[in-house]
Homo-oligomer: A and B are copies of this chain.
Amino acid sequence: MVSMVADEKAQPQLLSKKAACNSHGQDSSYFLGWEEYEKNPYDPVSNPGGIIQMGLAENQLSFDLLESWLEANPDALGLRRGGASVFRELALFQDYHGMPAFKNALARFMSEQRGYRVAFDPSNIVLTAGATSANEALMFCLADHGDAFLIPTPYYPGFDRDLKWRTGAEIVPVHCTSANGFRLTRAALDDAFRRAQKRRLRVKGVLITNPSNPLGTTSPRADLEMLLDFVAAKGIHLVSDEIYSGTAFAAPGFVSVLEVLAARGASNAPDADLSERVHIVYSLSKDLGLPGFRVGAIYSSNAGVVSAATKMSSFGLVSSQTQHLLASLLGDREFTRKYIAENTRRIKERRDQLVEGLRGIGIECLESNAGLFCWVRMGSLMTSQSFEGEMELWKKVVFEVGLNISPGSSCHCREPGWFRVCFANMSAKTLDVALQRLADFAEANGSGKGGAAPARRPLAGGPARTMSCPVGRFSWANRLTPGSADRKAER
């Protein structure tokens, strides 16, 4: 690109390494799948043969509740307070610390999502333009170039970009398997820690999603205890991304690591400063279904992290217009109480529809109690139990069945045959269409309920078939190209 006749100091490389390397993924087969979806999106009336989007963890189930509230509270959208315009105040508002009314309401709402078992101090909240930004800012605060975070697999593929790209931090996967329902173990953590040491990486922390994306499960209290023991012993950080906390719809329910931390107290010496090393990421994109409004948050009791992250938030502040709206909405306790109850009821209903539908076809899901997706075992539909087989099935499901789902390899899952299937971004009728299509496909491939394939294999049974994943570099994040597909900040 550089001009060959430029005098003196012609620069051999015009763009940064970060920018120059970012074409990865354009050759991914996922790209083809998303492109296919965007070329041919399902619509019950205008395009009943189109592809149904089941790769997008959107919550569209409770918009009517939000719309009714907006209708009844015109000041929220109208940039008014008590009927009087606050336009000028909002137009000029750019305090890095966020709008007090909004932070107070958000702190209270986060507490409510956790059954009021944890109290949040608004002054420990740093607002960010979405959880994507919150996660990256935390990495900038906690890790230097070449430092590592341990992350249990399968994990949200966007982390490969969000946590690593601009920070220079590394991710070391903690391998979880179906043998115990993908639960985190101390042995797996120790193994990852050792692998990091072998690579001469300094481990600065562990990052989990709780509830898990893509598993759709909440972390059991015992696992969080074990995890806290681990980070306490190692003297490292724990980041708990809890952006799906408000989607937990069934027992044992969602337990935040902050609850477990509070219950431990600081009596153990290794725990003395543990509370300064536990950080939460939250967002309104999933629980309220508002990804377009770009509202995320970091919660930390570490003054250094809050101070640095607050300064970093200047690179992604939340619009004051949006803060004003949400301060009103979340400040309405009567509304949030009803919303949370009804929203989780609807999520459970839609998830039950998916799980029962799949079971009818002979396809099992990991038992879930949260999230906007299920973690589905489709090995019975694969011609070979390998990542090649997974990719082959995935292509069939996208191109022949007409469902855009996400293969486990994109989540760094070590066992082939798992897929993340989203259910909350469509109507019950559309979900029925999707299930019928899959039933027809299973039937035609002899793997339906009456077929010969090993359906209903118990999830935790038998040895886990783990292998290194040849398609690990494919990810949802990699879909982000200037092309027609590849446009979403979706999680």
Contact = CB atoms under 8 A, between A and B. Distances in A.
Number of identical monomers bound together in the oligomeric complex: 2
Contacts of A273: 1-3
Interface string A58-101: 10100100110010000001110000010110111111110000
Interface string A250-272: 00000000000000000001111
A334 interface: no
Contacts of A193: 9
Contact of A294 (B1, B87, B97, B319): B319
Contacts of A304: 15, 19-20
A166 B312 contact: yes
Interface stretch (A229-237, A374-382, A442-450, A461-469): A229-237
A132 B292 contact: no
Given A144-B16, A292-B320, A310 B482 contact: yes
Contacts of A310: 480, 482
Interface in A467-491: 480-482, 487-490
B307 A481 contact: yes
A147 interface: yes
A325 interface: yes
Interface in A1-38: 1-11, 14-20, 22-23
Interface string A302-314: 1111111111101
A276 interface: yes
A134 to B, nearest CB: 10
A278 interface: no
- Between A91, A144, A161, A274, the greatest number of chain B beta carbons within 10 A of the residue's beta carbon is seen for A91
Contacts of A232: 3, 6
A130 interface: yes
A234 B8 contact: yes
A318 interface: yes
A170 interface: no
A147 B133 CA distance: 25
A454 B143 CA distance: 54
A277 interface: yes
B291 A10 contact: no
A94 B276 contact: no
Given A15-B142, A312-B166, A1 B276 contact: yes
Contacts of A70: 79, 87
- Across chains A and B, which 7 residue pairs bring their CB atoms closest together, nearest first? A316-B316, A292-B320, A6-B235, A19-B308, A319-B319, A93-B292, A19-B141
B7 A270 contact: yes
Contacts of A15: 141-142, 302, 304-305, 308
A140 interface: yes
A40 to B, nearest CB: 18
